[in-house]
Amino acid sequence: MPAQDLQSIAAALVAEGKGILAADESFPTIEKRFTGIDIESSEENRRAYRDLLFTTEGVEEFISGVILFDETVHQSASDGTPFPQLLESKGIVPGIKVDGGAKDLALHDGEKVTEGLDGLRGRLKEYYEKGNRFTKWRAVINIGDNIPTEYGIKANADALGRLAALSQEGGFVPIVEPEVMMDGGHSIDRCYEVTARMLDALFGELKRASVDLTGTLLKTNMVLSGVDASERAGVEEVARRTVDVLKETVPDEIPGVVFLSGGQTDEQSTAHLNEMNKIGPHPWELSFSYGRALQAPALDAWKGESSNVEAAQKALYHRAKLNSAARSGSYTSDMENAAA
């Protein structure tokens, strides 16, 4: 695909007022979510739930793209329309999670490396034919005693670089996602340090892999205190430190950064994004690629009952609208309880 086409797709994904819905939960993850509302994680229940999300009227006002799971790519809406085509008809770009999950890094206790590169070129061809136009690959970076090591960071940066190159070769915009985890009692300073190291390594690898940064998006964590830290940084500090680390490490050519919500509440993830955009302007768009932080209200409203679909869709629409406001720094906490 010509570079200008990749650039136009990347730009569409971070269009003004819009962000990405991550609906790419693996089987264990969605089973955990469904257990929380006491329903079985059957193929039909998973299909019905994704159908609910994707057919929400007007959601395309705030959602530019959706990350799909492999199973979902092959499923259809209740009217028989394949999900990628349904999304495309609403002006939403369909994308696909292509990694095989984070596995233990050999001889490195506590560290992970993401697998899934074997056979990826062939899988990408199939995904393209299904209508998908961007990929997503997540790397997991844990903070602990003496970790992450340089080797652990390098291993994940290398995989992300290869993923990005294969994606662009196949006509996809790659979303590269290094996630520095919130688990632990580390300070916000430690999170900043590790995030900077990971992003430095990532962009070095993308350059070596000849990846076109103008047709690439970064999905990353915000700079946060560990979940068990004795002192947790507030909204303004999180926003300032996150913007600072991006300015230190992320080239201006990247069209946008789409944050993950990673352990934050719905409100926290929206408030942090809002504060970052208030302290702009920035050389890249600062947007969202939230999963649970967008879906949780809808899932709680649905509870697996067809009679609750309308209420669930209303909840999703409202949450997406709040995050859209955060794109321009115009979100306020008063909006949380306003009518959708």
Question: HSE-up of 306 (CA within 13 Å, CB side)?
Answer: 5
Catalytic residue flag (residue 219): yes
CA atoms of 195 and 144, how far apart (whole Å): 13
d(CA 261, CA 259): 6
Catalytic residue from among 25, 111, 177, 285: 177
Concerning whether 177 is annotated as a catalytic residue, the answer is yes
**Which position among 112, 219, 275, 321 bears the catalytic label?**
219
The first and second tokens of residue 80, run together, are 């028989």
Residues recognised as catalytic: 177, 219
